[in-house]
Structure 1
């Protein structure tokens, strides 16, 4: 008698490859700006920092390059990617579209338990701002926005928002202190609109809120990297200019 084959066998969990763990560790250092845009990434220094050999670091840098977090320059090495104003503007514009619709749907679908989760995250965020704990405030900001997306009830929208959320956090970190308490007061108003099931107001508040961060980031980027004036061109002297 043959043993019946199970219709579905449980998969044996495998350990995460070391390069993926190194990838996640380096990505967190980039997103939190502990590794800053334009910074040279030296393999042996990163290996020592993370307590690994150079090989998984090299592999992780290749993965990060493939996702646009790191730039590899032949003969020079790896550098943290420095986003251009156009690149940041495009991503933050997409984020505004996705999250505006998320807020609209959340106002229609959120229950009391979901609203309570938002209020708790907002209270924690305000406390982090008061303590000048930027890292915690940025993390809580990401969680609050992710919760709004979750409460929208639209799984496809959630998948799309998740694709941009890490890069949004990267752009938000440099301006979080300047946004400060104002950002969390905007969150409070948004949560009130969601609790009142006022979909149009929730959408408008989220649109304004995301555009505030977008404008501030682009302004700060312009302050740090102002456009360089073109060198003055010397006018060529022509024969026609003589004798006038």
Structure 2
């Protein structure tokens, strides 16, 4: 009687289900990959990861499978799991797409952003400059990601925001290695972008964002050329012992 009455009235709260452990481990490992604490090409030993995160090997194994399915980890039979080492072409293509998406985001943000949105952008820019002065790469990368996400949100285009969100983590992955090299110059570009958005200058905002994302792309490619990423070892074939001749 009680159950049916509550159901009819819609008064019974839904109990939040706990997040499966494999998904929590997935997010933890992905964050370590994106921030560069687990480097491209690095071997991922299940026992070491389990000890690091304080879990058993089973959720580690399941999370590695999930990461492999999304292209963050490469699984080599007989050798284990390795952080995916993106090819130069792979990185170049993604960063080029990012430039197209974010230039359009900036153009629309200049059309739609209100005063509060501009104030939020300025606050993020101040955080970024402070992080650079403190040589806090992680904080600078986080502020950078938040600023770009806010520009996309201010565009008012939900489809564009969804597409940008799909590539945002990989963009952060590629940006982290060059954040220190880009330094204050990157945030000066952000400041100019915010001024264009505040002024409602769509063409200038789009051009600044286009140049800004291209600078990051070229910095990443230059660093890759100077410091090639180690690839995971290739699977080796085991020779069968020859049988003795009759």
Q: State how 1:73-84 maps to structure 2 within 5 Å.
A: 73-84=76-87
Aligned partner of 1:195 among 178, 184, 198? 198
Aligned partner of 2:117 among 94, 111, 114? 114
Q: State the match for 1:33 in structure 2.
A: 36
Aligned length: 226
Structure 2 runs not aligned, ≥5 long: 230-246
TM value normalised by structure 2: 0.89
Aligned partner of 2:147 among 144, 147, 155? 144
Q: State the match for 1:168 in structure 2.
A: 171
Higher RCO by CA contacts (8 Å cutoff, separation 6 or greater): 2
In the TM superposition, residue 6 of structure 1 has moved relative to its aligned partner by 3.5
Q: State how 1:3-42 maps to structure 2 within 5 Å.
A: 3=5, 6=8, 11-42=14-45
SS in 2 for 1:35: coil
Q: State the match for 2:228 in structure 1.
A: 225
SS in 1 for 2:219: helix
Cα deviation code 1:191-244 (max 9, x no counterpart): 000000000000000000000000110111111239xxxxxxxxxxxxxxxxxx
The alignment yields a C-alpha RMSD, in angstroms, of 1.6
Are 1:55 and 2:53 counterparts? no
Q: Which segments of structure 1 move beyond 2 Å, counting only runs of 4 or more?
A: 1-12
How far apart in 1 are the matches of 2:22 and 2:145? 26
Aligned partner of 1:158 among 161, 179, 183? 161
SS in 1 for 2:135: coil
Greater shift in the superposed pair: 162-171 or 3-12: 3-12
SS in 2 for 1:59: helix
Structure 1 runs not aligned, ≥5 long: 227-244
Q: Using a 3 Å threshold, how does the CA distance of structure 1 residues 115 and 56 change in structure 2: closer, same or farther?
A: same
